[in-house]
Amino acid sequence: MTVREVLFVASMAFRNLGRHRVKTIITVTAVAVSVSMYIFMDAWLTGMNLDSQRNIVMYEIGAAKIQRTAYFADKDELPMYENFGGHETLAAALAKAGYVSAPRFVFTGTLHSRSGSAPLVINAVDPVREDRVLWYTSFIDSGRALRPGERGLLVGSMAAEKLRVGIPQRLDRDEFEEDVLQAARDAEEEVFLRSMYIPFGSSSSPKSFMSRKESDRVLENRLVLKTTVSDAEKERLWDIFSSAGRMDVRIATTIDIRDEKTGAIRHVNQLVDAVVVGVVNSPNPQTNGNVAYMPMDSLQDETGMMLEGRVTELIVRSASAKDTVLPGHDEQSAVIRSRLLAALRDSAADGEAASLAAAVDDGTLGVYYWEDYVADYIAAARGDNVSTRIMAFFLFLLSFIGIANTMLMSILERTKEIGMLRALGMTDGQLVLSYTTEAAIVGFIGSTAGLVIGTLINIPMVRYGIDFSAMTEVMNGNIGYRVASYFRSAWNIPSMIGTFVLATVTSALMAVMPTVHALKMPVTDSLRFE
């Protein structure tokens, strides 16, 4: 087929679009809707997964952890007796290799306040070094950050509400009178406290995940902290409640100590007095749940956790890591292990460095990537991703079945026209090309429109997202994704281009079968077709 013939066939396809304007518009609309909806759903899934993974790395785990291999094997049980020493030497070697690190000793306990109790996972941390690898301290909702040496406690926002420590966010009028106002030291403070709390459901109160009827029912008896409270007012509220003893807590825990000679585990019950100094409310709901943070150096002796300089883990990140980017090649566990071993062997004159190098080399100490700790979450997220994409694919398929039906009806209606063109000398190949080109043009226009619509929908979704904080609060933060409030989309350019190409090609292919079917009919029968 010559270039001239191809151009003639293409021009005929364009003219056919104008002749059958209604069918063209219907088919273009179907393609545009399918493409735009798939792009929207794909971008939202991509955004939620990316945000979840970034939140895990930034606020919860870091890029990798160094732990005893025996600890990692039973990590869900938090076996504190599987600890190790020499973390300062390890940190120095990691720094030489281009990494920052933060030590932790993780244990469980029951936190008792004057108004309640709750089981918590408590992370004993180095406040200064912790800030270099994790970002949750940038999201202290009220109070302040930890200070080295103090028996202070940072608690998650949901735990704080259960224990009624920190600044009360919502309460009924009886609780307000009996609990909040009792903290006032004089009339001026009482007036201040009354000004900070307003009726639930008013314009300055937080949005509720409740029906209007439910909201009206509790409106008269519920009070909430104003959303317009300034930082200075928060500091004053914290001081009032702290002075009244609201922040005083006690940790009941059990210290598990392993005898180095016999290997027997000894259990020591311990009570640790502490004061809540701040409440964390980060974008990762895991840090806002039953989790607390406490300075490690205040727990070394017998009045604390008898740590004796030992830790359960060392969190690692590249010194040049960016908070918006997931860990790259330099933060893979194998790379960290290799560079750590090289740095430790360079310090072989140091007996502790040599001992630690041997422990890393023989597998006593392991380097574990962040994905190793959230394998269940990643598997579930991938399953959700696959199932949602399958649903989107079937919607896509149903749409193109409709397109195929439209093309079939269109070509059947033009059977007589096909017979006439064949009688005038057009070959079967030219006719197939003509109708395929016509369908491809329809697909191209619809895909372009769908791409534009999907992009326009995604712009506010990427920039602002949808606030699901009310729903996550009702579900105690357990929504499957590590996202506490805003669900944002993300640009998935390869998927957008792939969807555009697939929709265009699929539209073109939909015209092949009905055209070939019409061409099998004898010319005389085609001319008589009604």
The pLDDT tens digits of the residues spanning 58-88 come to 999 999 999 999 999 999 899 999 999 999 9
Per residue in 409-447, pLDDT (tens digit) is 666 666 666 667 667 666 777 777 777 887 788 888 888
DSSP class of residue 176 equals I
Mean pLDDT, rounded, for 125-132? 93
Q: Any bridge partners for residue 67, and if so which?
A: 366
Residue 168 contacts residue 116 (beta carbons within 8 Å):
no
Q: Is the pLDDT of residue 129 over 90?
A: yes
Residue 242 contacts residue 99 (beta carbons within 8 Å):
no
Token pair for 470: 């009310």
Token pair for 13: 């396809």
d(CA 103, CA 315) in angstroms, rounded, equals 6
pLDDT band at residue 178 using 50, 70 and 90 as cut-offs: confident
Mean pLDDT, rounded, for 25-53? 84
Among the listed ranges 22-36, 82-96, 180-194, 448-462, which one has the minimum average pLDDT value? 22-36
Token pair for 273: 């007095």
Give the count of beta carbons closer than 10 Å to the beta carbon of residue 528. 12
The answer to whether the Cα torsion of 300, 305, 309, 315 is positive or negative is negative
Q: Considering the chain, what is the average pLDDT of its residues?
A: 82
Q: Is the pLDDT of residue 530 over 60?
A: no
pLDDT at residue number 209: 46
Among the listed ranges 73-77, 251-255, 284-288, 436-440, which one has the minimum average pLDDT value? 436-440
SS (H, E, C) 271-312: EEEEEEEEEECCCCHHHHCCEEEEEHHHHCCCCCCCCCCCEC
Q: Any bridge partners for residue 437, and if so which?
A: none
d(CA 469, CA 151) in angstroms, rounded, equals 32
Residue 164 contacts residue 246 (beta carbons within 8 Å):
yes
DSSP class of residue 84 equals B
Token pair for 481: 């994704």
pLDDT at residue number 218: 45
For residues 204, 205, 209, 215, the Cα torsion angle rounded to the nearest 10 degrees is: -100
When comparing pLDDT for 30 and 497, which is higher?
A: 497
**What value, to the nearest 5°, has the Cα angle with vertex 292 and ends 192 and 104?**
140
Q: Any bridge partners for residue 118, and if so which?
A: 111
Token pair for 492: 């998935």
pLDDT band at residue 486 using 50, 70 and 90 as cut-offs: confident
pLDDT at residue number 71: 94
Q: Is the pLDDT of residue 211 over 60?
A: no
Phi/psi at 120 (nearest 5 deg)?
A: -135, 150
Q: Is the pLDDT of residue 91 over 90?
A: yes
Mean pLDDT, rounded, for 37-55? 85
d(CA 416, CA 503) in angstroms, rounded, equals 29
DSSP class of residue 322 equals -
Most confident of 36-45, 329-338, 426-435: 329-338
**Distance (Å) of CA 165 to CA 6, 246, 249, 275, 470:** 78, 6, 9, 10, 21
Residue type, 492: N
Contacts of 93 (CB under 8 A, 6+ apart): 340, 343, 344, 347, 353, 356
Q: Is the pLDDT of residue 208 over 60?
A: no
Residue type, 276: V
d(CA 128, CA 126) in angstroms, rounded, equals 6
Per residue in 436-477, pLDDT (tens digit) is 887 788 888 888 998 999 899 888 888 888 777 666 666 565
When comparing pLDDT for 125 and 481, which is higher?
A: 125
DSSP string, 13-81: HHHHHHHTHHHHHHHHHHHHHHHHHHHHHHHHHHHHHHHHHHHIIIIII-SEEEEEHHHHHTGGG--TT
d(CA 17, CA 8) in angstroms, rounded, equals 15
Per residue in 144-158, pLDDT (tens digit) is 999 999 999 999 988
Token pair for 349: 């004159």
pLDDT at residue number 3: 60
**Distance (Å) of CA 22 to CA 408, 447, 448, 481:** 15, 18, 19, 44
pLDDT at residue number 215: 46
d(CA 242, CA 277) in angstroms, rounded, equals 9
Token pair for 149: 């040496």
Reference 150, options 242, 273, 305; nearest CA is 273
Q: Where are the domains positioned within the chain?
A: 3-57+376-528
Token pair for 285: 């709901």
Mean pLDDT, rounded, for 91-113? 94
d(CA 35, CA 452) in angstroms, rounded, equals 10
pLDDT at residue number 225: 87
d(CA 201, CA 227) in angstroms, rounded, equals 12
pLDDT at residue number 478: 60
Reference 321, options 111, 52, 144, 64; nearest CA is 64
Q: What percent of the chain has pLDDT over 70?
A: 79
